Structure 1
């Protein structure tokens, strides 16, 4: 369970990182829309796990590897934006948020189940 302090700091990071990706993300991910879906912060606020969702890309693994390769640059740009609000800029680790893919897969399975013919119960006869 995250404390209010962690949640508040995660919200600040999410907003500021969104601005960084919106303004300067095209430099390392051209024609790709990056959405920050969730940020989790350690209790000491020194480490942040950032979950990203990518649109208009065929290879999310390549995209997340590209973001991780530029994590130092992203952290620097984040630090310049929040330097007056925090003592230490957290280490950033980026992960793919595959929630949308999971939801689509589950919807597909439920649709498939719904289309299957129902078997009659022997008990009801």
Structure 2
């Protein structure tokens, strides 16, 4: 994937910050008991599409919660538009994805713990 331009990075940062505030205030309606973090936003070069990566904490139903958020994407886009209307000509289409980095890290930690608990094989010398 090509690197993002400064313009894309700046716009993605604005979107990430505003979406984080929206989720902080209103996510309890879409995903009760879940703490949602906007971990990353990637914007296409024409700034028309924003790929938003979400991390869910304190929930066992992250995939179902993500589907609920995808169903509300037009509402979320509208709320984002009211916040960035002075900074952008268009409000990008939002695509939501599950950021499973935390799950991956936990999985790798478990593997490393298992490896460290296994008895070591004696080194063979020639």
TM-score range, shorter chain: over 0.9
How big is the shift at 1:31? 1.9
Aligned residues: 124
Query: Equivalent residues in 2 for 1:52-67 (5 A)?
Result: 52-67=54-69
Question: In the alignment, what sits opposite 1:11?
Answer: 13
Question: In the alignment, what sits opposite 1:106?
Answer: 108
How big is the shift at 1:121? 2.0
| Equivalent in 41, 44, 48 of residue 43 of structure 2 | 41
User: What stretches of structure 2 of length at least 5 have no aligned partner?
Assistant: none
With normalisation by structure 2, the TM-score equals 0.95
Do the aligned partners of 2:28 and 2:34 also contact (CA within 8 Å) in 1? Answer: yes
SS at match of 1:119: coil
User: What stretches of structure 1 of length at least 5 have no aligned partner?
Assistant: none
How big is the shift at 1:123? 2.1
Name the Cα RMSD after superposition.
1.0
